[in-house]
Amino acid sequence: MRSLYWFRSDLRLMDNLALAEAISSSDFLMAVFILTPITWQAHYAAPCKIRFLLDNLKLLSEALWNKGIPLLLRKGPCFSDCPKVLAKLCNEYDIDAIHFNHEYQIDERMRDEGVTTQLASHVTVNTYHQQLVLPPGIVLSKQKTPFKIFTPFKHAWLAKAHEQQAWRTCKAVKKTFKSGLKPDPIPSRLQGFTGQKIDLHWEAGEEAAQKKLNAFCQDKIHDYQKHRDYPNLDGTSQLSPYLAQGVISPRQCITAALEACDIADIDTMNRAEGAATWISELIWRDFYNHIIYFHPNICRHKPYRLKTDDIPWRYDDNLLAAWKNGMTGFPIVDASMRQLLQTGWMHNRLRMVTAMFLSKILLLDWRLGEKHFMQHLIDGDFAANNGGWQWCASTGTDAVPYFRIFNPTTQSQRFDPAGDFIRRFCPELSHLDSKTIHNPFAFGVKLGELPYPQPIVDYKAMRQTTIDVFKRI
């Protein structure tokens, strides 16, 4: 059998069922990655994410080549070009079978349908569900409908994951190939994605991802439930950039977490609070992917609760620019937004604070914030980003109630009590004491004493406006 493996957001050799199947069923195997910069731009992919992708591809190519599998690189440049690119490859190399893993956003699904239609008459198309622990359609209510609320979803998910042992990783196949082909060189930059100049804090590749996972499971996982909300403690795994590109799988994460806590199966994960809390976050990842699968309009910029489109969202360029640049006069918001610009990543608690600030305090359209996050996040992932934004803006499924609005100053006092996180990203405030730093002008600093803006809105007044607006709809 002559086979082609198509890599997308599954840039790994380990725990990759599709690749394992391709390897064991073939006597000739080549792999391809298709660069689709025009579609990536339309999806607001961040330059740092694309740089990380290319770095990951380089290491993936080397690892594949050690097994004699050449990774070819082709340019789309759009998703809609993929069927003809793959058809040409199959034709050129006399391919019998193609293998790839499913993705669940609407454009990705349409691309894959196009590929299947184009190839199915002369090539066997083998597809697999590997991006999540449990694919959409597997976790359903007693009425066989998809869940809308996370907690019952989680209970059903745990039961299914246990029943199917779906959290266990699959074994790699030991086999090497002689194809006579050479891998294509991988560029380190891609035109159109060079604007954002930041030093990447993440080392590329499967090995680096595994090292990070092991380090987290040896240590931080045990106190994850206590530390995860404190941005200055670095108590989370920071594995999101790897998970977003499939350099590591959620099953590898769960297996490592349970092993670290000496737990034999996922149905007893609650015996270790840290691991259970962390695995719950991975279940949120599945949940949001199921939501976008069953509600594809979400991928077309629609809110889950359509009625919330009646909210008179604002489109004020000055407010938006102040939020984007970390110049709102609310230190925790500004430090977080600067963390995003400087590192391409933001802590989860801060994503919630800043997203709620944009949507509920500035009353700006949450989609403006969703887009800005995608344009800068190294871990930009449509389902998680959209899910997070719609949760904060109270437009989504199982979202925060509309009247629950985080007070940035209180959040700051609670989760960055000494103000050290703020000091890291707002050096102009670093000399302030741990009380004043959370809201300088309210706690005694006089106008003109700091090179820092006054709050751009009156928090209390805007909070009330937002509640009134939501109440009306």
Ligand X SMILES: Cc1cc2nc3c(=O)[nH]c(=O)nc-3n(C[C@H](O)[C@H](O)[C@H](O)COP(=O)(O)OP(=O)(O)OC[C@H]3O[C@@H](n4cnc5c(N)ncnc54)[C@H](O)[C@@H]3O)c2cc1C
Given 48, 166, 239, 426, the residue binding ligand X (CB under 6 A): 239
Closer by beta carbon to ligand X, 124 or else 238: 238
Scan residues 386-415 and list those touching ligand X (CB under 6 A): 387-389, 392
Measured CA to CA in angstroms, residue 9 lies from 91, 114, 144, 247, 375 at distances of 25, 18, 29, 8, 18
| Residue 243 binds ligand X (CB under 6 A) | yes
Shortest gap between Cβ of 199 and ligand X (angstroms)? 18
Q: Return the number of the residue (28 or 373) whose C-beta is nearest ligand X.
A: 373
Structure tokens at 90: 């199959």
Minimum CB distance to ligand X smaller for 205 or for 380: 380
Burial of 273 (0-12, 13-18, 19+ CB in 10 A): middle
Which residue lies nearer to ligand X by CB, 47 or 380?
380
Query: Measuring CA to CA, which residue among 71, 272, 76, 278 is closest to residue 190?
Result: 76
Specify the stretch interacting with ligand X by CB under 6 A; choose among 147-155, 231-239, 425-433, 436-444.
Answer: 231-239
Tell me which of 59, 244, 362, 437 binds ligand X, using CB under 6 A. Answer: 244
The C-alpha atoms of residue 5 and residue 28 are separated, in whole angstroms, by 11
Distance CA 98, CA 113 (A): 14
| Catalytic residue list | 281, 284, 313, 348, 366, 389
Q: Write down the least CB distance from residue 355 to ligand X, Å.
A: 4
Give dist(CA 90, CA 78) in Å, integer.
19
The DSSP output letter for 309 is G
- Nearer to ligand X by Cβ, of 64 and 254: the residue is 254
Task: Give me the count of residues in the chain.
Answer: 473
On whether the CB atoms of residues 316 and 359 are closer than 8 A, the answer is no
| Near ligand X in 289-348, by CB under 6 A | 348
Binders of ligand X among residues 83 to 142 (CB under 6 A) are none
Cα–Cα nearest to 116, from 105, 127, 107, 125 = 125
* Distance, CA of 369 to CA of 366 (rounded, Å): 5
8 Å CB contact between 316 and 322: no
Shortest distance (Å) from residue 153 CB to ligand X: 13
Work out how close the CB of 107 gets to ligand X at its nearest, in angstroms, rounded to a whole number: 16
- Residues 347, 228: Cα–Cα separation, whole Å: 9
Count of residues interacting with ligand X (CB under 6 A): 28
Binding mask 250-289 for ligand X (x = CB under 6 A): -------------------------------xx-xx--x-
Closer residue to ligand X (CB): 79 or 287:
287
CB of 288 to ligand X, least distance (A): 5
Distance of alpha carbon 137 from alpha carbon 116, whole angstroms: 21
Task: Please say which residue, 26 or 354, places its beta carbon nearer to ligand X.
Answer: 354
State how far the Cα of 317 lies from the Cα of 310, in Å rounded to an integer. 21
Beta carbon nearer to ligand X, 237 or 439: 237
CB of 202 to ligand X, least distance (A): 10
Comparing every residue's Cβ against ligand X, the nearest one is 388
CA distance 120 to 51: 33
Identify residues 368-387 at the interface with ligand X (CB under 6 A).
Answer: 373, 377, 379-381, 384-385, 387
Q: Which of 12, 43, 212, 228 binds ligand X (CB under 6 A)?
A: 228
C-beta atoms surrounding 441 within 10 Å: 16
Residues 156 to 215 in contact with ligand X, rule: CB under 6 A: none
Q: Among 287, 285, 267, which residue's Cα sits nearest to residue 276?
A: 267
* Smallest distance from ligand X to CB 317, Å: 21
Q: To the nearest whole angstrom, how small is the minimum distance from the Cβ of residue 218 to ligand X?
A: 14
Question: How many Å apart are CA 353 and CA 349, to the nearest integer?
Answer: 6
Tell me how far the alpha carbon of residue 455 is from its chain's centroid.
31
Collapsing DSSP to helix, strand or coil, 28 comes out as strand
Q: Which residues bind ligand X (CB under 6 A)?
A: 228, 236-240, 243-244, 281-282, 284-285, 288, 348, 351-352, 355, 373, 377, 379-381, 384-385, 387-389, 392
